[in-house]
Amino acid sequence: MTASGLSVSEPAEVLRRVFGYDSFRGPQQEIIEQVTGGGDALVLMPTGGGKSLCYQIPALVRDGVGVVISPLIALMQDQVDALRALGVRAGFLNSTQDFEERRLVEAEFAAGELDLLYLAPERLKVESTTALLNRGKISLFAIDEAHCVAQWGHDFRPDYLALSQLHERWPDVPRIALTATATEATHREIATRLNLGEARHFVASFDRPNIQYRIVPKNEPKRQLLELLRTEHAGDAGIVYCLSRNSVEKTAEFLSANGFQAVPYHAGLDSRTRAEHQARFLREDGLIVVATIAFGMGIDKPDVRFVAHLDLPKSVEGYYQETGRAGRDGLPSTAWLAYGLQDVVQQRKMIDTSEGDDAHRRRLGSHLDAMLALCETVECRRVQLLAYFGQKSDPCGNCDTCLTPPESWDGTIPAQKLLSTVYRLQHERRQKFGAGQVIDILLGRKTAKVIQHDHDSLTVFGIGTELAESEWRGVVRQLLAQRLLAVEGDYGTLVLTEESGEVLGRRREVRLRREPERVAKAAKAAK
């Protein structure tokens, strides 16, 4: 019998007797052996891969209390309840508790009556917490959502920086850091910031083969979504992500009015409503939650059949994490994203006006660029996505570009026409305009705004009638994605970049993606 209340001492036995599973998944066994043996580990595993057991089992096998640092305060109660139901002695300390509740858990910890203690990271800044930890025996530190320590990542939390002290204060206690979102850059940063120089790294495959990735140009997003749900996901549970609270509300109303069961979820709703909607999502079949990204972290619902994005996510890491909530049960699921020019304009604006220094803004800018590159790729989405996480793969046969390959075409001449229109506005007229006006000029439309600014007298007026307006929008998007064009300011005005000159000077060819017929038709039919 170990110090834990359970009379089992081998990882495989704990897996069977406590958790009721027959075999380990992926790299679980190796990770558990490493940590049980007292070594450090850095674990990169996709959502649903089974990270929790990687620290829960060593905590049960080793002497003392496993201390789990997690930012997911809202979920601690549920996690602890679930463990207690299995006979594991678990407790948590966070800001939601009153003094008496905290005192009780602290007493249990000090008396060695816990197997696992969940802590919010800010707790460690409090001297009384470190004093408490010094009074008990710690079997390991597990740092969950470890990407929160990385400034390069998409979910940085300053409190995580203090976790580097764990090693200095408790040099003999093994540490395991876990995350589901790690590019090479984030991965390296986690290792450095947490002093995990000696740690073994475990990288599970990030591929989620049952998820079908699809990215479509956005025309009428709500209608396009409705079409998707009606044709492929009637009666299915799913998550729809929107950027703003307002569009969350509107979309939830729209889906409800069209016969779907949909509820909103965002930080502006009171906590009771939020908890209720989350509980319904977990309990009921076929409920759709329309949410901001406030929803989903740590939610373990196996049969989410689709994740739809009506706005462009801010980073590939975020996108991957959000779409990863689909299909944890391994059954076919859809990750669907509609994105348009307006998304780029809006996000540029948010980046330009964001708090923080230039380095921070550059970081946000490169996250956006990577996301755009994924949207405009003519290659397999999965290949691109996995490459972003440093993993090589072959074309998957289960994404939109594999299923209906887009043609790529020589867009050098249209690109030149568009860029020279921007050039003329910028340099001849000292004016900046958004995509709408530039396209009107190319198409030779004598709108009131064109006449007002005398743009019909430009030599480029009407030189672009070979493409339709929607095609021009596609050209603009793709030039943005290739950084041959940039947007700035409140109105999303188009400006040239350093590289634009290479196209204008005919030193560079531009390859563009033509939307496959079927996708374009489906979008039209949805109108």
CA-based radius of gyration for the chain? 26
CB 485 within 8 A of CB 494: yes
Query: What does 402 interact with, of Zn ion, ligand ADP, none (CB < 5 to 8 A by kind)?
Result: Zn ion
# chain residues binding ligand ADP, by CB under 6 A: 13
x/- string (CB under 6 A) for ligand ADP, residues 57-76? --------------------
**Tokens in use for 97?**
């508790």
Q: Which of 17, 33, 39, 50 binds ligand ADP (CB under 6 A)?
A: 50
DSSP state of 59: H
Selected range binding ligand ADP among 18-26, 243-251, 346-354, 501-509, rule: CB under 6 A: 18-26
Lookup: tokens for 418: 């568009």
Stretch that binds Zn ion, among 26-34, 380-388, 408-416, 424-432 (CB under 5 A): 380-388
> Applying CB under 6 A, which part among 22-30, 374-382, 419-427, 500-508 lies near ligand ADP?
22-30
- CA angle 272–276–277, rounded 5-degree value: 120
The span of 48-56, 100-108, 128-136, 419-427 binding ligand ADP (CB under 6 A) equals 48-56
Q: Which does 399 bind (CB under 5 to 8 A by kind): ligand ADP, Zn ion, none?
A: Zn ion
Residue closer to ligand ADP (CB basis): 50 or 268: 50
Q: How far is CA 43 from CA 47, 50, 206, 233, 451, in A?
A: 12, 11, 12, 34, 61
- 35 counts as binding Zn ion under rule CB under 5 A: no
* Interacting partner of 253 out of Zn ion, ligand ADP, none (Cβ under 5 to 8 A depending on kind): none
The interface partner of residue 382, options being ligand ADP, Zn ion, none and the CB cut-off 5 to 8 Å by kind, is Zn ion
Between 48 and 112, name the residue whose CB sits nearer to ligand ADP: 48
Shortest CB 325 distance to Zn ion, Å: 20
CB of 229 to Zn ion, least distance (A): 23
Selection from 453, 451, 413, 415 nearest residue 433 by Cα:
453
Is 17 a binding residue for ligand ADP by CB under 6 A? The answer is: no
Kindly provide the residue ranges of all beta strands, DSSP E only, lying in 195-345, ordered along the sequence: 200-203, 211-217, 238-241, 262-265, 288-291, 306-309, 333-339
User: What long-range pairs does 227-234 form, CB within 8 A, spacing at least 24?
Assistant: 227/522, 227/525, 227/526, 228/306, 228/308, 228/334, 228/336, 229/255, 229/260, 229/288, 229/306, 232/306, 232/334, 233/305, 233/306, 233/334
**Residues facing 263 on adjacent strands:** 289
Residue 18 or 338 having the CB closest to ligand ADP: 18
For residue 392, which amino acid is it?
K
Binding mask 273-312 for ligand ADP (x = CB under 6 A): ---------------------------x------------
Q: Tell me which of 380, 418, 475, 480 binds Zn ion, using CB under 5 A.
A: 380
25 binds ligand ADP (CB under 6 A): yes
One of 4, 34, 40, 49 touching ligand ADP (CB under 6 A): 49
Stretch that binds Zn ion, among 123-131, 392-400, 414-422, 504-512 (CB under 5 A): 392-400
**Among the listed residues 15, 396, 460, 494, the single contact to Zn ion using CB under 5 A:** 396
Q: Which residue in 4, 47, 377, 421 binds ligand ADP (CB under 6 A)?
A: 47
Both structure tokens of 513:
């993606």
Q: What stretch of H or E contains 63? A: none
Return the residue of 204, 399, 450, 485 that touches Zn ion, per CB under 5 A. Answer: 399
Choosing from 18, 27, 51, 385, the residue that interacts with ligand ADP (CB under 6 A) is 51
Using CA atoms, how far apart are residues 27 and 33, in angstroms rounded to an integer? 10
Among candidates 350, 257, 253, 245, which has minimal Cα distance to 291? 245
Which of 45/216 has CB closer to ligand ADP? 45
Handedness of CA 92, 95, 98, 103 (dihedral sign): positive
- Nearest-angstrom CA–CA distance, 290 and 80: 27
Q: How far apart are CA 445 and CA 462, in angstroms?
A: 7
CA–CA dist 81, 288 (Å, integer): 26
Binding site for ligand ADP (CB under 6 A): 21, 24-25, 28, 45, 47-53, 300
Binding site for Zn ion (CB under 5 A): 380, 382, 396, 399, 402
